[in-house]
Amino acid sequence: MATDSSSSTLAHTIHLPSQPGQPVPVVAASGVSGSDFRNAIESSLFKQWLKNIQTQTGMLANGAMSLSQVLIQGVDMFGKRVGFLKFKADVVDKETGLKVPGIVFARGPAVAVLILLDSDGETYAVLTEQVRVPVGRLILELPAGMLDADKGDIVGAAVKEVEEETGIHLNLDDVIDLTAFLEPSTGCKIFPSPGGCDEDISLFLHRTEVDKGIIQQLQGKQMGLRDQGEFIKVHVAPYKNLWRMTADAKALMAIALYEMAKRDGLLPSLQD
Amino acid sequence: MATDSSSSTLAHTIHLPSQPGQPVPVVAAAGVSGSDFRNAIESSLFKQWLKNIQTQTGMLANGAMSLSQVLIQGVDMFGKRVGFLKFKADVVDKETGLKVPGIVFARGPAVAVLILLDSDGETYAVLTEQVRVPVGKLILELPAGMLDADKGDIVGAAVKEVEEETGIHLNLDDVIDLTAFLEPSTGCKIFPSPGGCDEDISLFLHRTEVDKGIIQQLQGKQMGLRDQGEFIKVHVAPYKNLWRMTADAKALMAIALYEMAKRDGLLPSLQD
């Protein structure tokens, strides 16, 4: 199928049930090695995208669009697995023959948790602070992390990220799935940047009462997996200020879901 | 500075005031052409990132981190300008010598508008529906668009996107900047996906009363710039349902800012 000698020989063909009779060539951009190309087309990220476009709500579903080619532009390996994948899909609106923007930065699913701690009459949110190179600065965010695409355990991943990033140990049933309140037609996940990225986020809520000492212990705690380059400082701040104090989309999304679910009476009565 | 014959000769050096004595080599990955490399290092996207890392709140500000190299991985040209840029920055925590994740998908700033129309006792939100190739399906979103990074007129860009995507004509003072309510330390913009992308979003609100006929006219209208591959259908839906009916992060972020600003009495009294 592919050799390592020249990118012009790297090619693969995909047969999509959604467009029988129009197989899709997958080719490599110059500079993409044979092993990168194979990793790309065999990755969960690429397979998930192919799956997404063919679902009932997918872009190939109603026959209005067709996929004519995919160009693998680049692969970022995180050890043995594909961490990020960049490709260009040539998608055409059949009626007009015009192309729809098709550049994809694929990184897969993620989870985030809004942790609310009630102490001494105040409700606090637990945040992480770390340098984020893409935005070039330290920012405050909800504890979050990328899902291992091969494993489907979203709640488990949420609990693990909270532990690694804040030291707070949660049980699987200590969290409420906020994104589950979305209508099923949405897929019950949020897309942070759907014009360029495949990322979807599942948001969880954990709310509990704690002693004041817990708040003090958390404030400024250094966490994160150093060998993965995570240098995280924990911040605890009054929840009522959260909406103004962070540039993190995840925090605002969680606030919206939490406040609207509360307003509509969808949260268990322990949540005020 | 660079030749087109071999990527190994494409190199550039940046001298950053924030780290005197440690100039930063910028190199090209295999497959990046000479013109791509020049476009990349001369792009607003790259210059803005270099600017961001050196601000008072930037990652080089307190001397704890250093930038040792930048690898240009890929460039997507939108006509004559760089649309997307992908690069890998080697950023090191000086104390431990460990690297911080530094892969960047750069696309620059964007704007989005929450349009609320009051008609016949109901408040409606105006949404766009279009195929988004990265998520592989049709999705409902707030009207939005990428800012032309060379031009600073954010409000003008918001008004233009609303016109192109919905046909609604707004004046510059018809919109309220919701992201302006954020604390100055945030930079008053939101980062949808700061772990991998440089994107920041400014969110606006436009709320007005309209006749029922306007609502009917908008519903299902076909909009968008075809030659840019925009195939947009306008949807109008009751605002009270918005939080559940879309997977779009921009919608939830706007709801959070709008509802919290309302609650805190920060919006003009015409907003109920």
Question: Per residue in B201-229, pLDDT tens?
Answer: 999 999 999 999 999 999 999 998 888 88
Can you give the pLDDT at residue B207?
Answer: 96
Q: Chain A contact for B198, CB < 8 A?
A: yes
- pLDDT tens, A155-210? 999 999 999 999 999 999 899 999 999 999 999 999 999 999 999 999 999 999 99
Q: Chain B contact for A233, CB < 8 A?
A: no
Question: Closest-CA residue in chain A for B199?
Answer: A135
Chain B residues close to A190, C-beta within 8 Å: 247-249, 252
Average pLDDT in chain B: 93
Chain A residues close to B246, C-beta within 8 Å: 182, 186
CA A38 to CA B133: how far, in whole Å? 22
Q: Chain A contact for B31, CB < 8 A?
A: yes
Beta-carbon count within 10 A of B37 CB: 24
Q: Chain B contact for A187, CB < 8 A?
A: yes
Chain A nearest-CA distance from B70, in A, is 12
Contact call for B259 and A257, based on CB within 8 A: no
The phi and psi torsions of B65 (rounded to 5 degrees) equal -120, 155
pLDDT level of residue B268 (50, 70, 90 thresholds): confident
Query: Which stretches does DSSP call E strand in B109-224?
Result: 110-119, 122-132, 137-141, 144-146, 176-177, 201-209, 222-223
pLDDT level of residue B149 (50, 70, 90 thresholds): low
Q: Chain A contact for B157, CB < 8 A?
A: no
> From the list B32, B55, B231, which residue is nearest A100 (CB)?
B231
Question: Closest-CA residue in chain B for A136?
Answer: B53
C-alpha A218: how far from its chain's center?
26
Sign of CA dihedral B217, A91, B140, B157: negative
Contact call for A190 and B252, based on CB within 8 A: yes
Residues 75-134 of B with CB under 8 A from A: 76, 83-84, 86, 88-89, 91, 93, 96, 98-107, 131-134
Residue A9 has pLDDT above 80, yes or no: no
More confident residue, B165 or B9: B165
Give per-residue burial for A159-173: e unless 16+ CB within 10 Å, then b. Answer: bebbebbbebebeee
Residues 6+ apart with CB under 8 A from B173: none
Residues 6+ apart with CB under 8 A from A40: A32, A46, A72, A75, A82, A85, A87
Chain A nearest-CA distance from B117, in A, is 20
Q: Chain A contact for B229, CB < 8 A?
A: yes
CB A201 within 8 A of CB A111: yes
Beta-bridge partners for B88: B71, B103
Q: ipTM of this model? A: 0.94
CB A65 within 8 A of CB A92: yes
Can you give the pLDDT at residue B6?
Answer: 47
- pLDDT tens, A219-254? 999 998 888 888 999 999 999 999 999 999 999 999
Can you give the pLDDT at residue B272?
Answer: 47
> From the list A31, A134, A198, which residue is nearest B135 (CB)?
A198
pLDDT level of residue A272 (50, 70, 90 thresholds): very low
Residue A1 has pLDDT above 60, yes or no: no
- Predicted structure pTM score: 0.95
Query: Which stretches does DSSP call E strand in B47-109?
Result: 65-78, 81-93, 99-100, 103-106
Query: End-to-end distance of chain B based on CA atoms, in angstroms?
Result: 60
